[in-house]
Amino acid sequence: MNRFVLAAVVAISCLGTAVSAGVTEEDLANDQTSTDNVLTNGMGRHLQRYSPLETLNKDNVKNLVPAWAFSLGGEKQRGQESQPLVYDGVMYVTGSYSRMWAIDLKSGEEIWQYDARLPEGILPCCDVINRGAAIYGDNIYFGTLDARIVALDRKTGKTVWNKKIADYKEGYSYTAAPLIVNGMVITGNSGGEFGIVGEVQARDAETGELVWTRPTIEGHMGTLNGEESTMTGTLNASWPGDMWKTGGGATWLGGSYDADTDTLIFGAGNPAPWNSWLRNAGEKNDGSGDNLYAASRLGIDPKTGEIKWHFQTTPREGWDFDGVNEVVAFTDKDGNKRFATADRNGFFYVLNRDDGKFIAAYPFVKDINWAKGIDENGRPIYNEEMRPGAPNTSSEDGKGQQVFAVPSFLGGKNWMPMSYSQKTGLFYVPSNEWGMDIWNEPISYKKGAAYLGAGFTIKPLFEDYIGSLKAMDPATGEVKWEYKNDAPLWGGTMATAGGLVFFGTPEGKFMALDDETGEELWSFQTGSGIVGQPITWEEDGEQYVSVMSGWGGAVPLWGGEVAKHVNYLNQGGMVWTFRLPKQLASAN
């Protein structure tokens, strides 16, 4: 081969590499402003779920019409909580039972399907859901119910690598959308009800090999490049005896990334067991019984996995108030860089983005009674009368004193993501108004078995509604408006610069509300309950909106007296895509 031909071959080879490079770190960083694709869970790694698109607005949203619908098919139509991704003319969606599809964006036709083929004996706590994927290079990544992370070729659906996060036989699983940062796939884990240990893992996106691990419970050792790095916290500083070994703190909702401070933010779930009397390491209110870092938000260095800061929302947690709820980075009206998170415990927190320090907290649901408020340091002022009593070893059933606590263990807000509008400066928070009878029981740890030590019954607070979508001012805690819904809300919201807030209901309605007033401007009946997360993008001058429809999740499994509000709802599995035709974009 002469040198001219060789040079041509090299040039073509290099060109081919450039063309097939796929999604880059820069693409992920610009996901919110690049409106022709949706590349990240949260429509930006800060999780604002906000689109700057204005083509679709308050005046013309009534002209939004279906473009296509795609059925997930089969008998596995249960709990579709995924957020779709859109890239290069293809939509990628995950579904229940750890499945994924690539769908042609124009026609709605299937390109490929992947089924994880789960083993017998998986132990998902709260339904067989999956919340979405991540994309980087020419790979698409998602987690499975047997606690694995899988990389697929985005064009063919063929497996590139398949790695074990943890042992599903011990109660581990994985349901969150992975997070991509600087060429690494960042994952958490699920299984807090089984006495597992929460952890964040970072892997090389190309090979799947571990870069670092960071447990979320004190006493456990992290790793970096295959070697032990540092211990999480200080052994037995806030846990009694050996209880830290099965301390819970699952990182089951995944994380966000704040590029301004180069920080990963992950939440840690409930401590294990639920019975807080077993975890009391000290009688004084001196932090010795806080059970770190369960029920906390952690700021983590993405390079090393070291914990930079932590903020614990519910020390010595005893009501299943997980600390996993998403942490959204935003800039307030005075130019301050802040984090916001709406906790299971019913309080909306504002933190400083530089160091995670507490700024303010406001109740966002009604009749909270487990705490009297939040003090100047961000710690709850407990109403100890509302802590379920210690197990009664002298009784036959061992039940301790029962209390009626508000909110219920499913939270003022559970997993369903809120959105933030850069236009209004408001957060749109899907919440639920309910409480629970709760009591503690004797419990001991057994690998792969439920590790609660508590019983409960959920009850609605009001006769006329449970679900409540609230528009909340993070500067004052004022609720500007509220949309009430009969059944609990269990899906995400999305805000747009066109003045719209999109969300769905368990009754199957996909809706657009006025972002300033809460007025309903448009709705469409999807045929099954919506527990998914909407997205929007623009193609050829037309704006599109998509959402998954398919009832399921934790509510029908753990509903208690709420069941009558939802037990008539049909399961399903559909991706609905809507468009605003060009000729109707200016029609009022």
Catalytic site positions: 320
Do strands 427-432 and 434-440 pair parallel, antiparallel, or not at all (unpaired)? unpaired
Provide the token pair at 291: 């059970």
The answer to whether 328 and 47 have CB atoms below 8 angstroms apart is: yes
Provide the token pair at 526: 């999807």
479 torsion bin: left (phi>0), alpha (psi -120 to 50), beta (else): beta
User: What SS3 class is residue 65?
Assistant: strand
Closest CA to 291 of 309, 310, 308, 263: 310
Beta strands in 316-389 (DSSP E): 328-331, 337-342, 347-352, 358-363, 371-374, 380-382
Provide the token pair at 405: 């606590």
The answer to whether 551 and 572 have CB atoms below 8 angstroms apart is: yes
The answer to whether 198 and 269 have CB atoms below 8 angstroms apart is: yes
Q: What span, in angstroms and rounded, lies between the C-alpha atoms of 31 and 8?
A: 35
Residue where the block lists tokens 């979405």: 132
Instruction: Find how far residue 448's CA is from the centre of its chain.
Output: 24
Residue type, 204: D
Closest CA to 485 of 522, 442, 518, 440: 518
Q: Which residues have C-beta within 8 Å of that of residue 318, sequence separation ≥ 6?
A: 274, 275, 276, 387, 388
User: What SS3 class is residue 249?
Assistant: coil
Please count the residues of the chain: 588
Cα R_g (the chain), whole angstroms = 23
The answer to whether 457 and 436 have CB atoms below 8 angstroms apart is: yes
User: What SS3 class is residue 525?
Assistant: strand
Residue type, 35: T
The answer to whether 305 and 229 have CB atoms below 8 angstroms apart is: yes
DSSP summary character for residue 389: P
Q: What span, in angstroms and rounded, lies between the C-alpha atoms of 153 and 141?
A: 9
Q: What span, in angstroms and rounded, lies between the C-alpha atoms of 331 and 338?
A: 6
